[in-house]
Amino acid sequence: MSEHHTYKKVELVGSSPVSIEEAISNALAEASKSLQLTEWFEVVETRGHIQDGKVAHYQVTIKVGFRITNS
């Protein structure tokens, strides 16, 4: 077994009408359907849609790190 790990990062945008946290969770839930060994994320950008002077939708750009394996 190797004593080091190699990772790859992908950039995703999650969205939610409820919160920034839910936007992140939505992106991670979708990523887990096709990516294995996801281990961390970092928030790159946060933005939102305004409607009638209020926040209508949140969008959060994240980078997700997942481990590369030899299997």
Query: What would the pLDDT profile of 42-64 be if each residue is shown by its tens digit?
Result: 999 999 999 999 999 999 999 99
**Cα dist from 45 to 23, 38, 67, whole Å:** 12, 20, 23
Instruction: List, in order, residues 6 or more apart from 56 with CB less than 8 Å away.
Output: 17, 48, 49, 50
Tell me which of 33 and 70 has the higher pLDDT: 33
Check residue 5 and give its pLDDT.
84
First and final C-alpha spacing in the chain: 12
Separation between Cα atoms, residue 47 and residue 59, nearest integer Å: 5
Q: Note the pTM of the prediction, 2 decimals.
A: 0.85
Q: What is the mean pLDDT of residues 13-33?
A: 97
Two structure tokens written together for 34 = 């096709």
Two structure tokens written together for 19 = 């919160």
